[in-house]
Amino acid sequence: MVVLYSSIRRTFRLLTRRFTLGLFAAAAALPSRAFANVAPPRNEIRESLAKHFTDLGTAGTFVGYKVEDYLIVASDRERSGEGKLPASTFKIPNSLIALETGVVADPDKDVFPWDGVKRPIEAWNKDHTLRSAIAVSAVPVYQEIARRIGQERMQKYVDLFDYGNRDIGGGIDQFWLSGALRIDPIEQIDFVDRLRRRALPISKRSQDLVADILPVTKVGDSVIRAKSGLTGREQGSLGWMVGWAEKGEAHTVFALNMDCPEQRHIEARMSLTQACLADIGAV
């Protein structure tokens, strides 16, 4: 069996969490020592997924978790377990923390006024609500949100979410952009799947609201709820796309990251994600 996780210890932690949150609800009465007897998800490498990146002239990784099949499909063994800066995919936990702490009470009514600084992305140069800010990935709004949350509360929730390496060093409004925070595709999937199932250790209301404001892309009869991310050139221009796809009653949680040395790579993040999802029958 191909093992996608970077260590046995992390595999066990992931499975233990899923067990605790009810994925193995029928066995919930078993003692903790029984966890070692729980079969891991089936997993496989598909070369067709890796080919999408090489055809585009770049390097990257895609991991999909087909929930109903309990199957993890990945493009590779190595990069799928490498931690990277989350960039704007951190807007998902940042939104959850903002709502849970009351920094944002209503994602449609609380307004963050534009500070008047003209930025290259025109959509950022206006007032925003949480819903409109996540739609255009408005970094300045989320930096202000992080400052209002503050270091202590931010660390508390990053720990509570078991998000990546949990390291928020590098500045309260920079740690996910250029600081110390790292997360790999398997950890992204684990976090997003807990949101999808409303299994994070916070209120259901906060999780419902964030799931509702996530950008939506429709592909035929399927729906993709996902957040993009992009680091700056100083960090190597890494692009992300993380979320989940819904096709009827079937759900697939996914994470893609790729090197984006050219504008065409940045623009291809969603189309490449859709191609990978189509390859595994998720859309």
The Cα 132–Cα 124 span in angstroms is: 10
pLDDT average, residue stretch 85-106: 98
pTM: 0.88
The neighbour count for residue 108, using CB atoms within 10 Å, is 12
Q: pLDDT tens across 144-174, in order?
A: 999 999 999 999 999 999 999 999 999 999 9
Q: Which residues are catalytic?
A: 88
The Cα 227–Cα 224 span in angstroms is: 10
The Cα 90–Cα 87 span in angstroms is: 6
Contact present, 266 and 239 (Cβ < 8 Å): yes
Contact present, 181 and 175 (Cβ < 8 Å): yes
| Residue 235 confidence (pLDDT) | 84
Residue 215 has pLDDT above 90, yes or no: yes
| Residue 40 confidence (pLDDT) | 66
Please report which confidence band the pLDDT of residue 52 belongs to, taking 50, 70 and 90 as the band edges: very high
The Cα 152–Cα 86 span in angstroms is: 20
pLDDT average, residue stretch 187-197: 98
| Residue 36 confidence (pLDDT) | 42
pLDDT average, residue stretch 211-229: 98
Q: pLDDT tens across 1-24, in order?
A: 444 444 334 544 554 444 333 333
Average pLDDT over all residues of the chain: 89
Tokens of 193: 């799947």
